[in-house]
Structure 1
């Protein structure tokens, strides 16, 4: 039997079943689920977009500060996630290789895990850069960043290897989750871990907002500024940016996380795809928020594309860039 899509246990995708007749296109004798096509297209966009960020950071020796290393880690994780989605489609419908498809599922799990962990690492870095502003640019910060990167990729790799090393539902379909061939327990652990990480990120962003507002208040007192001054406006914009970052992250991942925690393989695959596709959009949005808004990366991209830097990019950093 040919391999199946992410949201389909084997018993749900047999040719001629109600789950395939109304919802799939046919390529010869192999059913092609349109949702898998959407995931493949999303993966292609994710891979191309984040490849630009990885290449820019890799080719510019000036982009080696801890902040850029973490942004590079995020872009690399999202790049691998995009490639994993594309390869999953290829091995499910074109090359029809079950072992290879199992590897791609592991790649998707590892890369999306690394993406989320990288977002947490960026949040921690932003908090430390404000809380320890005087000592942030030290060798200790660089060492701490390297340790964070090593740990997050080691944990992500371990999570990705679980399906390959036997923690899957191939031998017992009743233990399948909404994502084939991950087990219900495996997905539950991933979902709970995500909720804990989200709670930690929320707490850190609250602390960041407090620090930013406190700094703005101190500056306002020193210069006898009013609430409507440009500095207050830009500080408020910075806090709004933090809310946008956290809100986007939650909007993309929370529906799939909650659904995967309460559902199992008996639920209609449509629900899995309807919540999983928006989760992949987070990897599309990440470069726009964390990379292309950065002044130094903007300069590097413009120099690589046309050899010049527009005047609009050559601006001073403001609190809105936090």
Structure 2
């Protein structure tokens, strides 16, 4: 009977850990997660994550979780320094997710130049076949569900982030080149809106309008999203409020000019073209120099 009670108690304890996603046991990392997720005390959780790192207890998980909590507590600068100081203690397979977290933290801190450099580094790794441990896909998890991410989708995502970082840096030439590259890899309506915003910033209203009309005519994946449609309509209204500009004043954008701009940006990312992945071979039909 007593054994049965112990089994029931143990089952309840195990179920508690599953429900709250808290590691079993009383290790520093387990204690940190319990404080974070169950007791809802982020500041104390950070202290215990530090203890886990110093004790060598699941260092990569402790470092990433601590950085996330720090970001939530508006301590993003501290989180950046923590990752830089302790990532050498983490295994190779954890470095990619640490880079992704750093990019997010740089964005939060307004450290745009560092964000740009890290995004370009990630693109170089893709070009050299070093992303996803050389595989064409990787398994990711979101809200408890697993799904597959392809190199193509990852490339498009990074290019989209890089384009937006260039926009924040007011480098609209680079932003345009990157967004056009991203649309070649995997077009979508959100990046089309960002491209049109970039063209508006450059005074090329007719081109921006043409891109937005493609979105409104549902010619891009994601065009059925109500927020994206609303944004496209808002950008169109912004164009209508602009003073009329003669094409001679802004210059006509030709295909060759766009390609030359892409060449300049892409050459900076990846000088080692011999190892480029199939996705980059596929999108180089227009001009070989366009690919990484």
- TM-score of the superposition, structure 2-length normalised? 0.25
- Larger Rg over CA atoms: 2
Higher relative contact order (CA 8 A, sep 6+): 1
